Amino acid sequence: MLEIIIFTILISTLLNLFLGQFKIPTIIGYIATGTIIAYGFDLHDAIHNQELKEIAEFGVVFLMFTIGLEFSVKHLLKMKKEVFLYGGLQVIVTASIFTFFTYYLFDINIETSIIIGAAMALSSTAIVLKLLNENGDINKHYGRKVLGVLLFQDIAVIPILLMITLFSIKDASVSSLLFLTLIKAIALIVGLFMAGKYLLEPFFHEVSKTKSNEIFIGSILLVVIGSSFISHQFGFSYSLGAFIAGMMISETKYKHQVEADLIPFRDLLLGVFFITVGMQLDFRTIYENILTISLLLPAIIVIKMLIIFSILRFATNKRNALKGSLALFQLGEFALVIFELSFARGLLEPELGQILIITVVISMVMTPFVLRNISQLGQTSCSEKKILTQILRFTNKISQGILCL
């Protein structure tokens, strides 16, 4: 294991130094590192072991915590239209359409179809926000719309994870499960928020009096991991507890200090997450299902882009709506979490799960290259016909690229 860790750090460092010369994002370097390590040390059989999944999940845990830091009531009120109207429409419409196609065209049972449809509605918060921040587009008109949609998608992850829990339990009635889940959710949220309101501020005040940076960082890790553990004990995801912890701290005066101190941990653990994403790129599965993937991925992208473009068109001009759809075309890291959890709970067949996971990973790998050239890709006239033609050309190139593998 120590040998694997050393080579992983070495390869990711050298690879990102090399890719940095061409201004290729570090995310690609991490994913490529995972693929190299998986084949170099023959780790494909160990991909689904519990330890690896839990380590990778904590990258998402810290991502959800930092998202929670932005979810103060004031912030949500300022962006209520972008988050709840456009974001809500995007998730509901996209999930419904993909659920319909999955159930009626592919004859997959309704529970699995709902989960697949919901996962298809999600985009990659980790990649998109990181890249929009780096290129300065986050403060542009289309960037604010994209941020609002992503925030709602992150909220939507919570009920999706609850659905998986409900669908996977067969020995109890749905009504009793919903009631029990609701009681647990209320107890968890109220308990954590009460602790946050009355204990966090005095706790951080005492910690800050020590003037010790390591004690302060340790206290943050205690709050994040402790909240995640409590959430897990209640039967929910680690990410839900981290998200609530972030919201609790966002209401204190220590929000900005916590955010600044925790970013290195978040980025490091997200790096681990993307390395495990790269480990799941099984070229044998790609080769065996090349036709399915080369048809499935472009179809998903076309449908998703058209839905997002149609929704954003009511909020902004056609060019910004096209840029927004290009920024959100991919499937995201939470789709991986959803498919992995569904696979573990017996809701997804192994072969279907692998095809979906690889489809998600390929779409994530493409995203940095698209966002890097989004200004050029978004240069189009105001004709819907030309916009549709541009989207179809874009997805046709994707199909050709997959077939070239």
User: Domains of the chain (ranges plus CATH)?
Assistant: 1-46 (no CATH), 47-403 (1.20.1530.20)
Q: What is the pLDDT of residue 48?
A: 46
Q: Tokens 């004031």 label which residue?
A: 74
Reading the block at residue 360, the tokens are 């998600």
Q: Give 16's contacts (C-beta < 8 A, 6+ positions apart).
A: 26, 29, 30
For the beta carbon of residue 170, count every other beta carbon within 10 angstroms: 6
Mean pLDDT over 95-106 rounds to 91
126, 123, 132, 149: which is closest to 62 by C-alpha? 126
Stretch among 87-96, 225-234, 371-380 having the lowest mean pLDDT: 371-380
Top-confidence residue, 268 or 100:
100
When pLDDT is cut at 50, 70 and 90, the band that residue 150 belongs to is: confident
The two structure tokens encoding residue 52 = 């690896």
> From its phi and psi, is residue 353 left (phi > 0), alpha (psi between -120 and 50) or beta?
alpha
